Every structure is written in C-alpha cells, then in structure tokens.
Chains A and B, each alone.
Chain A
Amino acid sequence: MGLKIVVLVKQVPDHEAIIQVKSATELDIEDRYVCSFYDEIAMEAALSIKKEHPDTELTALSAGGRRAVDALRRAVAMGIDLVERVGDEPLDSAESLQVAEALATRLKEHRPDLVLCGKLAGHDDQAAVGPMVAEFLGIPHMSAVVSLKVDPAGRKARAGRQVEEGVWTIESDLPLLVSTEKGLAEPHIPVVTRVMKAMQAKIENFPAQIESKESVRRIGYLPPPSRPEVLLMTKEFPDNVAELVGRLQETGALS
C-alpha cells in the first residue's frame, strides 16, 4: 500500500497586490489572487516524494469558495492527482480555528500518511492552520521545514526544521503534518496544456463541519504604521557620514 499525501492549499492576494484600509471594517484588496507561495512549495515537495515513491497518491484540499476552486485548479495544473474543496464562501473569512477544524474533519476521511501545507498564508499571516489541523488530527507536526525525506516502508519521515539558531534534524513516525519553509522545493511553473486541462477539472465539494465557537472578534482594521518624511544628509561625501552619525547620536539609537 502506497503513501497517501494531502496538501492543503489556499489562494491569497499576490504579494504585489495593492491592499488598503478602506474603513475600520473594510479592506480594499486588489483582485490579484494567486496560490500561496508556501503552498506551492508544499505541492512541489509532494510531487518530488511521488517521483521517488511512485506508489503515492497526492490530494490537494482547500477550504472556501470560488478562490479555493482557483487554488485547486493550480494544484491540478501542477500535477496533483486529486482535488477536493471543503466548505464555501463563509470559510474565506472564518477564523483559523474554524478553517482548521473543517479541513481536519475532511482529512480524517482520507487518513493520510503525510499532510503538507505552507508555513503561512499571505492573508491573515497567522501561521496557525497547519499546527491546528495537526492537533485536531492528533498527529505530530513540524513547522518551517526546509528538507524532507520520507521512508514509506519504515513509516517514518526525517525533516530539517529552520529555527532561529539553525536547522534541526527531526525524525517522526507517520502520520505527520509538515509545514513548509522557503528552500524545501522550487515550485515549477505548469505548462499551458496542463493549465488548460485544469480549467476543465471537476472539483468535488464537501460541506464544512465545524463545532468550534467564535474565539476572536475583529474590532477593526488599521493602516500600517507610517514614517515621517526622510531626512536626507545634505553634505558631500565623506562629511555626510559624520552628519549621519551626528543625527543617530541625537536620536539615542547609538547609546
């Protein structure tokens, strides 16, 4: 019996999309959504595991509405075997705990050996859904993984985790959830024919089952901190260096 891997994917605004605070209750988000960078790394890592162990089944799972469909089309284009969507539009703005529960409930049906997901998604930036899913499934997890080796026969995985001090090598039994850090894999750009094919893919939708109650409530949105206009050094080199040091001394930044 081969490996079963499920990759959790999500559509997020492109990193260059313009996002502004419209009011305390609303953001203005430019309609430029892409599959989350870290999720694409997770898919590529799954594809390379399958290359090494061909008897592997890859499924991509996404929670939410039409954007989840887009993320899953990207998964098909990248070469993921099966795709599934859980829940609908309300999950797009649900809190991490509820999204994680909806995903975990669906994952329990799959009983995967390995769950892969991005370290964080570029929308709420919580980095929470992965660890929360692992908790709901009752399996170990490792975050910010930069290297991964799976041993299906021994039912083990060995991963390199990026921590502040360096890289830790950790071994775990399967099943396991791994969240990906930049460096684990280099996502390939799907060929056009696959992208076209992905547009036709049928994507099954499953209802979300959520018991978690509201745990946080948004008070409002705020603009990012802004800085006063820059103070440019006016003297010629090298006097402008001394001028800069003088300015820094005034601020107390050097003491």
Chain B
Amino acid sequence: MTNEIWVLCKIKDGQPTRTSKQMLNAAGALAAEKDLAPVKIVLGGEPYEATRHLAALGQLIDSRGKPWAILAGAGANDLELMPRLAARLRTGYAGSVVGLRWEGDRLAAKRPVYGGRAYEEIAFVQTPALVTVRPGAFSQPGELDPPETMGMETVAIDVSQSPGPVVLEQEATASTAEDLSEAPRVVAGGRGMGTAGNFKLIEELADALGAAVGASRAVVDAGWRPHDEQVGKSGKTICPELYIACGISGAIHHVLGMNTAKVVVAINTDPEAPIFKNADYGLVGDALKVVPALTQALKQSLNKE
C-alpha cells in the first residue's frame, strides 16, 4: 500500500484533457485532506488496447504498491480498463462518478443510477478505490491547471509484442473533431431543425462558440446525424459548461444525457416543451430563425471581447 492517489490522464495535443485536469485537481484536494500524494499516471502506448494496458497497470501496482484510489475518465477505453482491473484486484469500482469526498477514512463516490433518474453515494470498503469520472463532471470555475509539482509517472506500454487483440485500423469520424463528452460547450439540434441540411445552422453556431455539435435521438434515428453525436440515454451523457438545445422537445431520455450541464439554454417554438423545465434560459421561437441570429449576435459580442 502506498500513500498515493493515482489519476490516469488522457493527453491530447500534448495537454491533459479537460476531464484529466479536473481529476488532477480533485485528486489534489482529496490527497491534501489525508496527507496523501496525488500522482499523474500517463499510460503511453498507442493504440490503446485493454489487455496490454491492464497488464501494464498491474505491473505498476506491483512495483509501486497499491494506491488508495485510481481515478480515470469515463471514456470508452477507461470503461474497458477500470472494471476489469477491479475484478483482477477484487476491489470496489464506481462508474460515471460526479463527486468524491472522504467519509471518515473511506472514499465516497456520488454517481447516477437508473440513467440519472436517481443518484447514489457509495463508500469503498476495499482499496484501491477504482473510479471512472463522468467527463466534465468535476468542473471548477476557471479550470485551473494542476500544479506542476504533482508527482508524475509515465508508463511505457509495448503494444506490438505481447499476444492479445490487435488494433488494425483507427477510423476517425469527421463529426467528432471536437469530442462531445470533453467539450466545454455543446450546441445540439433536434427535430425542430426541420431537415438534415439545416444542421448547417447548428454547426455555424457551434463554430462561433468553439462548441461541439450534439443531436437528439429523433434526428439520429432519422439518419440526419451520426450516433456518436447523440446526447441522452443510449447516447452520450455530457457535462459541458454551456449547452444550447435547439428545436429539441426534451424527452426524458434526452434530458438524462444533459441535465448535469452547468448552464442550459433552450430554444423551441413550443413554450410547453419539457426542455424548458430543464433549462436556465429559454427562448420561445423558431430555431431556424433564432439560431442564425444568435450566431451573428455571438460573433459580434465575442469579437468585442
């Protein structure tokens, strides 16, 4: 057993991702309360493959000792890795965690259940506590960079040698230029956009804001947008700082994917649409008219700043 809390960081363009930074800050705060040391772990070795990354993490635990906790982002790869590690170590696992605190000497995690219709708080009885964090959920004002002094361990992983599954091809989907679950701002469109072609208006507003594009289930099912843009149950659950829902009625399965966003704006023709019950700011009007006007207005106001 070491006196450490590990954070598995995802590095993009040489920088920890937004979620990684948030986890590092959270780990730093938790560690400070108990005189533990936060350690930044970077699993190096592309492409990622669960079997080998798991083996590398296992070796790191053997050589450094078991940490108190390991935090990872709830991205596709961490979601493969962390539950499996929990089974290997026969220890506790909590997924999609939105909050962490100490309950006495045990780490406690708050997480959604039943698709976010309720939340539970659990305490880890075994260590290490394995946690995947919902992307963006640990947001703090200012999103400070974690201190440089934080411990750092880069683990090189040889993905070419050992037996196991082989990644043959990594096809990037054009629409995920800005990863939806990591994006601090998201502009999403629904049936109210009228046609697939009208999503150009959503893209332009997203561009003006530096936001990612999201979509409701209805338009994904209609084939207007790819599934990886779907927000909600059976799609992505996201926690951006700003979410703008355009022509989305706000069915429960959609709301469950975005109700942890910080600031929500809803634009819809129907003042009775349930999306307005899950928004901070509402504008009753036709998204086809309002969205381009909002794009123009934002461009002007952002230029001024």
CB within 8 Å of A: which of B73-107? 75-77, 79-88, 90-96, 103
- Complex Cα spacing A245 to B260, Å: 22
Residues in chain A near residue B76, CB distance under 8 A:
143-144, 161-164
Min C-beta distance of A234 to chain B, whole Å: 10
Any chain B CB within 8 A of the CB of A31? no
Contact status B122-A217, CB under 8 Å: yes
- Complex Cα spacing A30 to B245, Å: 29
Contact status B50-A240, CB under 8 Å: no
Residues in chain B near residue A200, CB distance under 8 A:
none
Residues in chain A near residue B108, CB distance under 8 A:
219
Residues in chain A near residue B278, CB distance under 8 A:
227
Size bracket of the A interface: 35 or more
Contact status A213-B90, CB under 8 Å: yes
- Complex Cα spacing A161 to B80, Å: 11
Interface of B is mostly: mixed
Min C-beta distance of B180 to chain A, whole Å: 8
Contact status A224-B116, CB under 8 Å: yes
Contact status A253-B86, CB under 8 Å: no
Min C-beta distance of A170 to chain B, whole Å: 5
- Complex Cα spacing A74 to B76, Å: 29
The number of residue pairs between A and B whose CB atoms lie closer than 8 Å in the complex comes to 274
- Count of chain B residues near A, Cβ 8 A: 96
Contact status A248-B164, CB under 8 Å: no
Residues in chain A near residue B259, CB distance under 8 A:
224-225, 227
Any chain A CB within 8 A of the CB of B283? yes
Contact status B252-A16, CB under 8 Å: yes
- Complex Cα spacing A70 to B145, Å: 50
Contact status B263-A253, CB under 8 Å: yes
CB within 8 Å of A: which of B145-172? 163-172
- B121 contacts which of A37, A168, A213, A222 (Cβ < 8 Å)? A222
Closest 3 CB pairs of A and B: A128-B83, A215-B92, A172-B165
Interchain residue pairs with CB less than 8 A apart (11): A167-B173, A171-B165, A214-B126, A215-B92, A223-B118, A224-B116, A232-B281, A233-B282, A237-B290, A240-B290, A251-B280
